[in-house]
Amino acid sequence: MNEVLKHEFRATNDGDAWGNCMQWLFAICDYLTFETDECIPDEWQFRASPMGANEDCFCYQSLRHFAFEQEITDADVLEFGKVLIRLRDILEHKGLSY
pLDDT tens per residue across span 46-73: 999 999 999 999 999 999 999 999 999 9
Q: How far apart are CA 94 and CA 10, in angstroms?
A: 20
- pTM, rounded to two decimals: 0.92
Say if CB 23 and CB 30 are below 8 A apart: no
Q: By percentage, how much of the chain surpasses pLDDT 70?
A: 99
Give the model's pLDDT for residue 17.
95
Give the model's pLDDT for residue 68.
95
In the chain, domain spans: 3-93
Say if CB 31 and CB 53 are below 8 A apart: yes
Nearest C-alpha neighbor of 19 from the set 96, 90, 85, 83? 96
Say if CB 52 and CB 34 are below 8 A apart: yes
Helices 17-35 + 58-68 axis angle, to 10: 50
Q: Which phi and psi (to 5°) does residue 33 adopt? A: -70, -45
Say if CB 76 and CB 82 are below 8 A apart: no
